[in-house]
């Protein structure tokens, strides 16, 4: 059985003359020349609550949502109007990231008030979705600097491909391809259009593979179970996409020192607050000191992703043979 983040995709079957790849592109467009996918995650979560027919219809909920909407729109507009950092390194890169972190911290301080935390629990994803949207603002202008049409945002990335005809007769007429996909919180990557056809057949199966160059999983806190799941996802991703970078981002850490980080397959783990986790209900107690989100940690994340996207990946047997060591 596939888990909730996996999907088995059946290809679209058409006659060869009817294929229109452009018509299959994502409908969620942005003013930049990039292909976006559910990048305003927090805003969408807020809209769902505002328009829910059964929940959040009492006066208190409506009042809370109205206040949150006002602050969210301001946060969204401030991030949209703020430019950078970009692909080209500039002297003010850290300053721009620091300003984005300030905007994030101000908004989260408002949203994390006790009244809102009690009204909208962790299952509603209102609070946790803020980090996912922030990651988009952080990398938007970097990705827009690349040629072509990059993919950015939530993605159902390519995990595996197999062929499953019902018999030999069916095998000769149509490929019966199946694409297994994996959901990721945030990716920077590319969309690849592929067509499969059996020899001497006019029936074509069309598939779209979303390949991440970078995959980032966003957590409020990271515990051992979550890390194991991320490690498994990273390993699966690199089986078919070996040059992909897999990163976990969290505000807090919920790991003991008796954890061997080296055995996990993720490329890096960033803890934005540099602080151990405390259950949400205790964060509002008098005397609790919440560390701020560290802009230097966020900037290191940005630089790692920029260096990966702008650098040469190389690798392969031929390049290794030329220098004398393969890995």
State the pLDDT at residue 14.
37
Q: Domain total for the chain?
A: 1
Domain residues for the domain of 56 are 6-311
pLDDT for the residue 11: 57
Residue 197 lies in a domain: yes
Please give the pLDDT value at position 6: 55
Q: What's the CA angle centered on 99, arms 254 and 248, to 5 degrees?
A: 30
Q: Is residue 15 part of a domain?
A: yes
Q: Is 281 domain-assigned? A: yes
Report pLDDT for 51: 94
Q: Is 325 a domain residue? A: no
Residue 1 included in any domain: no
Token pair in block for residue 47? 């809209």
Beta strands in the chain, from DSSP E residues, in sequence order: 6-9, 12-15, 35-37, 151-163, 177-196, 203-223, 245-254, 268-271
In a domain, 321, yes or no: no
Residue 149 covered by a domain: yes
pLDDT in tens, the chain (327 residues): 334 455 555 554 433 333 232 333 333 444 456 777 789 999 999 999 999 999 999 999 999 999 999 999 999 999 999 999 999 999 999 999 999 999 999 999 999 988 998 898 878 889 999 999 999 999 999 999 999 999 999 988 888 899 999 999 999 999 999 989 889 999 999 999 999 999 999 999 999 899 999 999 999 999 999 999 999 999 999 998 999 999 999 999 999 999 999 999 999 999 999 999 776 666 666 767 889 999 999 999 999 999 999 998 877 888 888 889 887
Closest CA to 144 of 134, 157, 153, 132: 153
At 37 the pLDDT is: 74
Q: What is the pLDDT of residue 8?
A: 59
Residue 226 lies in a domain: yes
Of 192, 18, 43, 179, nearest in space to 111 by CA: 43
Task: Give CA–CA dist 16/200, Å, rounded.
Answer: 12
């Amino acid at each position: 059985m596939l888990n909730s983040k996996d999907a088995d995709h059946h290809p679209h079957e058409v006659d060869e003359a009817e294929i229109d790849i452009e018509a299959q592109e994502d409908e969620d467009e942005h003013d930049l020349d990039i292909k976006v996918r559910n990048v305003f995650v927090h805003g969408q979560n807020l809209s769902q609550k505002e328009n829910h027919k059964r929940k959040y219809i009492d006066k208190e909920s409506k009042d809370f949502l109205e206040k949150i909407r006002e602050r969210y729109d301001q946060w969204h507009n401030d991030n949209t109007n703020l430019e950078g950092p970009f692909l080209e390194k500039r002297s003010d890169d850290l300053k721009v990231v620091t300003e984005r972190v300030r905007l994030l911290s101000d908004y989260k301080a408002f949203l994390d008030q006790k009244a809102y935390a009690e009204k909208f629990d962790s299952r509603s994803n209102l609070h946790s979705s803020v980090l996912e949207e922030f990651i988009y603002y952080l990398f938007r202008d970097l990705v827009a600097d690349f040629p072509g049409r990059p993919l950015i945002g939530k993605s159902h990335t390519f995990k595996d491909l197999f062929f499953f005809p019902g018999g030999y007769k069916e095998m000769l007429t149509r490929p019966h391809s199946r694409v297994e996909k994996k959901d990721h919180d945030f990716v920077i990557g590319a969309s690849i259009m592929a067509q499969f056809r059996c020899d001497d057949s006019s029936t074509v199966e069309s598939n779209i593979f979303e390949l991440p160059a970078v995959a980032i999983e966003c957590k409020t806190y990271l515990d051992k179970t979550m890390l194991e799941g991320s490690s498994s996802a990273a390993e699966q991703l690199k089986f078919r996409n070996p040059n992909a970078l897999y990163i976990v981002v969290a505000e807090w850490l919920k790991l003991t020192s008796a954890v061997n980080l080296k055995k996990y397959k993720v490329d890096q783990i960033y803890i934005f607050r540099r602080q151990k986790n405390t259950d949400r209900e205790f964060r509002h107690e008098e005397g609790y000191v919440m560390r701020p989100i560290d802009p230097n940690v966020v900037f290191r994340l940005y630089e790692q992703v920029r260096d990966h996207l702008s650098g040469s990946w190389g690798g392969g047997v031929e390049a290794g043979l030329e220098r004398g060591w393969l890995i």
